[in-house]
Amino acid sequence: MFAMLARREHSEQELLQKLQTKGFESEEIAMLLAEFKEKNWQSDQRFSESFSRSRLYKGCGPVRIKMELRERGVDTSIENVFDEQPDWQQILAELSTKKYGNQPPKDMKERAKRTRFFQYKGFTHDMIKQLFNDMS
């Protein structure tokens, strides 16, 4: 258990699932998780901060980060994760430049393709629309 937490932060749900697959009893797991939370060895807040930062550096947007946190059992608002809110529009612009250069989409087919990619990465339609408006 300590080895798992030594490598990276884990959410409570992740630890629960890992311990269940290793065959631990529910009562044992509950006591262990309670002890870890009490001693601050496990913290969903710390996990969400670390996880969100790593996704941010990979070019993920707020929608995807929020969805992935929910999948890991952390129900926190994305606004509460970062000390200072990232400039999502700037991150989207950097992602666009890295992937497509400084050229705006040449036609509607290319625009649709880029839109799907940016939505997959977790950016909202309004953010993407603003990006294309800034490119024109």
Domain ranges of the chain: 2-81, 88-135
Q: Helix, strand, coil proportions of the chain in percent (round to 5)?
A: 70, 0, 30
* Per-residue pLDDT at 90: 95
Q: State the architecture of 88-135 in CATH terms.
A: Orthogonal Bundle (1.10)
Q: How many Å apart are CA 24 and CA 73, to the nearest integer?
A: 20
What does the pLDDT profile of the chain (136 residues) look like in tens digits? 666 666 778 888 888 888 888 888 888 888 988 988 888 888 888 888 889 999 999 999 999 999 999 999 987 776 677 778 899 999 999 999 999 998 999 999 999 999 999 999 999 999 999 999 998 7
Q: How many Å apart are CA 102 and CA 26, to the nearest integer?
A: 54
Q: How many Å apart are CA 59 and CA 121, to the nearest integer?
A: 7
